[in-house]
Amino acid sequence: MPLARWTPDELSRLHRFMDEGKTHAEIARLFRCKVDRVKNRICWENKSGEQRRERRARVQRWREGKKLGKYVGHPTSHFAERPGARPPAPLIEDAQRRALAPRSISAFVFGDPPPGYSALDRRTGA
């Protein structure tokens, strides 16, 4: 369901109510709508033309990525390119060594840790 657009009359009334110092809840009651709708519109009205163009472009890029089946701009989309994302070489070598250690079929299927690395093996004084 598309969102209802603000009419020019509603916008002039909104600006008048804002100038009068009414709260978001009071304005929402006068318009018979949700407070979030009023807050979002006031936030939009306070943006500069450049900020509005930037926001529209960002939403357009998101929509295009959604059509392609991917979420463009996701914080982890470039995870491998971030500095410090790769663990140190000794940790990688240790993980490879443990992965190559002989394991039983059940340990392999159920993902049990190698001998000496489980919580039970590390428990002391029991």
Do both 17 and 54 map to the same domain?
yes
pLDDT tens, residue by residue, 99-119: 788 888 888 888 888 777 788
Residue at 77 is within a domain: no
Q: Are residues 12 and 62 in the same domain?
A: yes
Return d(Cα 114, Cα 49) in angstroms, integer. 60
Q: pTM for the complete prediction?
A: 0.48
Amino acid at 111: G
More confident site: 4 or 14 = 14
Residue 75 lies in a domain: no
| pLDDT, position 125 | 52
Give a yes or no: residue 103 inside a domain. Answer: yes
Is residue 53 domain-resident?
yes
Domain that holds residue 41: 8-67
- Residue 24 within a domain: yes
Residues 45, 93 within the same domain: no
pLDDT digits (tens, 9 = 90+) for 42-99: 999 999 999 999 999 988 888 887 766 655 455 555 544 555 567 888 988 988 888 7
CA-to-CA distance for 66 and 76, rounded, in angstroms?
A: 16
Residue 12 and residue 56 in one domain: yes
